[in-house]
Each structure stands twice: as C-alpha cells, then as structure tokens.
Amino acid sequence: MKIFNTLTRKVEDFIPYEEGKVKMYTCGPTVYHYAHIGNIRNYIGHDILDKTLRALGYEVTRAMNITDVGHLTSDSDSGEDKMEVAKKREHKTAMEIADFYTKAFFKDFEKVNCKKPEIISPATSNIEMYIKMIKKLLKDGYAYESGGNVYFDISKLKDYYVLTNHQEDSMVVGAREGVEEDNNKRNQADFALWFTISKFENHELQWDSPWGKGYPGWHIECSGISIKYLGENLDIHGGGVDNIFPHHTNEIAQSEAYLGHKWCNYWFHNEHLLDESGKMSKSNGAILTVSLLEEQGYDPLAFRFMCLNSHYRKQLVFSYEALKQAQTTLNKLRNRINNINSDGELDNEFYNNYNQRFLDELSNDLNTANALTVLYELLKDEKVNGTTKLKLIEKYDEILSLNLIKKNEIDSTLQDYIEKKIQERSEAKKNKDFALADQIRNELLEKNIIIKDTREGTTYEIKE
C-alpha cells in the first residue's frame, strides 16, 4: 500500500508499527450544526482508506471523536466556543445541541455507506485523560499557567512546524486573519490546553481541574482520545486539509511532548469540496447536507460516486450538474450489473487477476477513479462469465459501497419528492403554465424518473 504522507510530503510505502495491524484515528465532526457535504466528502475519503486496508488483509482499529466542547470559532484560541454559539441560536443546552447534531451526522454518514469506526468517543467523556496529560506537560516544562489558562509552550520543541511550511512570522498578530493578541501567551503561536477564567467564563460545560473549574482546548481532545483508546503508537491520523494547521500541528506537539517519543507515522489529509462560491461552510446559515440532497430527489450514493470519481487529494467543486451526471451514470451502471446473468462456474484466474488489478489501483494512494475504470473494463470483458463478474463486483462494492448489486429503487424519501413534484406539475397545468409543467417533467427525467399521464392520473417509473 502506498499513501501520501503529509509529514514527509511524499507518497510512501505504508508500514504499520505492528505487522498486519493498523491503528487509525479520524478527526470527528464538531456537532454544533449539520455536517455539510464537504465534511461528508472527508469521511468518504477515510472510509475508502479504512476499507482498502481491510481488503488488503490488515486488522484495522479505528477511533473517532465527537467534538462537543472546546472548538472555538477561530482555530487560534480566540472567538467563542462553537457549541455556545449554537446554544444561543437554538435556545437549547449544549448537550441537547450535541445530541441532536451527532444523530444528524451519523444519519448522513450512513446514507453514503460510511462504516462507523470501532471507537467513537465524545470529547466530554474523556476529561480525566486531558487533565492527566496536561499535568504531565506542566511537570515536564512543556506547558505553563497564565491568566488562569494553561498553554502549551511551542518554543520548547525543536520543530513545532513539522507538518507544515508555516513560519512563525505568518502567525504574528494581524498577519493572518483570525489571530488575535492573547497577552497570556509567551509566544503567539502557543495554544490553550485548558481554559478557566478568561472571556469564556460563562461556558456551560465546566469541570474541576487542578487549575480551577474550566474546560479543555480543542486540540487536546484528539490527542487524549487517540492515546487513550489506540495507545502510544498511532499508524494513521487523518482529517481535512484545514486540520493540518493548527489542529494536527498542535496534536503532534502535545502528544509527542507527553509521550516522549514519536507518535504517529502517517498523516492523511483530504482536500476540500468547494461550492461554486469557493468555500463550503457550516457557519454561514445555508448548509448543504446529504439529507437535503436526498429530499431534492438525489441518491446519496450518487454523491459518494461523484467523490470517488475524483482523487481525494484534489479539490472538487460541487455542482448540481455534476451530481445529476453522477446520478445518471450510477443508475446506468447498476442497470448494466443487474442485467448480468450468473452463468458459468467461478473462474478463479479471472477473479484473482481482476481483484488484484482493482486493489492495485486503490493501493496506489487510493486511486478510486482508476479502480472504477477496472470495474468498467470488467463489465466489457466478454471472456469473463457472469458468475465471475458478479462475484468480483460484490467484492469491489465492499470498498466502493455504491450498492452496485441492487436494483435502482424508489425509496420513501424519493417517493415523497416525486409526489411533491407531480403535485406541483398538475398545479402548473391547471394554471396553464405549460413551461413550468415541462420544466418539472425534465427535472424528474434528469433524475431518471419518467412520468406518464394516464386516465387514472400521473404514474412514474425509473428509466432502465
């Protein structure tokens, strides 16, 4: 397996600490709002990596946090806690907010067939672990108390910027948007491990600590959860590219200072999904979610398919045009697969050969687009019988997770959408707005839904 490692900025052979076993950590969502489709793209990337490693025979243990405390509106210890912002917006308690958006997150996560990590842990469940780490960092001189808070002193490390090309200069106040002067810090790039008294004094979630009642900084939670559940040696740690700095940089600093040795060997980062305005955000109100796409008549797996057609290290721009195209191609692909007759005996030679080719593409830094090309070649290959093809596709789909061996179906969400559209169309016809009626028919057709007007009313079916 070859994988791009942000730490070395190279595609490298993957060698885990322990032969045959992989410990993998994925930064989880901040549950103060819905996860947008950009966040979900990131988890699809992690899902493909996880499933590819398993298909290659590794025993994978994967952990993910749920950020329900400590993530501020700016990554540099300034701004408000995102959960506090959500509480004001929705007039709920922090735990009600976290509970609601955690459920919403996993609903969308599962709609795109992402497999849940073995360990999922909310930040608020591991406070004792952060306190234990911070105590040791203080004792060993890597951290200091100032103005009531505890900070990590980055000047104590040889190479704090190991993961990035950042220079300290770019962190000086004013040079980088979002960096505010914090007079408590010795170096402006120092980061908070624990907040007590500060401008966040009204924070709802507070715990007793040796430094007074307070709450943890955002970065310590991922180090704490990872070390607590996966041990001192981590093989892969991942997130989106925005996590490289400061989040993962800070995680390396505090984890290695705490452990006294190297912590994680491979850093895996997914590029962003952008919208046409250039940035997808969940703080600006209008959030495009997987559930919303489904309510608009799209198959969530068409979104997954769209992501798999591009490389995880390339930016991808979301557009409805591209999604429609993905939906049409995926429906055609499923129809083709459903027309394969399972004739003949399993041909082991073809099976092994095609399986290897597919895995080779994924083992090459997760080249999902090329893996899909192998699938298309298999479908075209007249020398391979139906039984062998179907067995292979079933195997491929353990990783692709596109429900390839399932007939295109109209589920209840799609049914609601179609019925709403048919209703709108008959209203339009009643008002003699035939242009709108045609537009609605075409909109449905683009999603492979054919409607027919009969004497009994309008019926619909999926285009084969």
- Residue from 171, 222, 280, 400 in contact with Zn ion (CB under 5 A): 222
243 vs 249 by CB, closer to ligand AMP: 243
Judge contact between 175 and 169, C-beta under 8 A. Answer: yes
Q: Note every long-range contact of 281-289, with CB atoms under 8 Å and residues 24 or more positions apart, other chains counting.
A: 281/36, 282/33, 282/34, 282/35, 282/36, 282/39, 283/33, 283/73, 283/82, 287/33, 287/34, 287/36, 288/36, 288/37, 288/318, 289/34, 289/35, 289/36, 289/37, 289/40, 289/104, 289/108
DSSP secondary structure of 389-431 = HHHHHHHHHHHH-S-TTS-----HHHHHHHHHHHHHHHHHHHT
First to last CA, the chain: 38
- Residue from 1, 5, 25, 29 in contact with ligand AMP (CB under 6 A): 29
In the bound complex, which residue of the shown chain has the CB atom lying closest to ligand AMP? Answer: 240
Q: Does 48 contact Zn ion by CB under 5 A?
A: no
Stretch of 37-45, 49-57, 320-328, 390-398 contacting ligand AMP, by CB under 6 A: 37-45
Size of the site for Zn ion (CB under 5 A): 2
Residues 55-84 close enough to bind ligand AMP by CB under 6 A: 67
Closest CA to 369 of 422, 292, 308: 308
Which listed option, ligand AMP, Zn ion, none, makes contact with residue 301 (CB within 5 to 8 Å by class)? none
Q: Does 24 contact ligand AMP by CB under 6 A?
A: no
Sort 148 into a burial class: Cβ within 10 Å, 0-12 / 13-18 / 19+: middle
User: For the chain, how many helices (H) and strands (E)?
Assistant: 14, 15
Q: Does 240 contact ligand AMP by CB under 6 A?
A: yes
Closest CA to 444 of 292, 298, 303: 298
- Residue from 217, 239, 246, 300 in contact with ligand AMP (CB under 6 A): 239
Which helix (H) or strand (E) covers residue 267, if one does? strand 264-270
70 vs 240 by CB, closer to ligand AMP: 240
Q: Does 38 contact ligand AMP by CB under 6 A?
A: yes
Stretch of 25-33, 154-162, 387-395, 454-462 contacting ligand AMP, by CB under 6 A: 25-33
Q: Does 252 contact Zn ion by CB under 5 A?
A: no
Cα torsion 164, 170, 176, 182: sign: positive
Least separation in angstroms between residue 210's CB and Zn ion is: 24
Q: Does 243 contact ligand AMP by CB under 6 A?
A: yes
- Residue from 5, 6, 39, 385 in contact with ligand AMP (CB under 6 A): 39
Q: Does 27 contact Zn ion by CB under 5 A?
A: yes
Which listed option, Zn ion, ligand AMP, none, makes contact with residue 29 (CB within 5 to 8 Å by class)? ligand AMP
Binding site for Zn ion (CB under 5 A): 27, 222
Binding site for ligand AMP (CB under 6 A): 27, 29-30, 38-39, 41-42, 67, 239-240, 242-243, 270, 272-273, 280
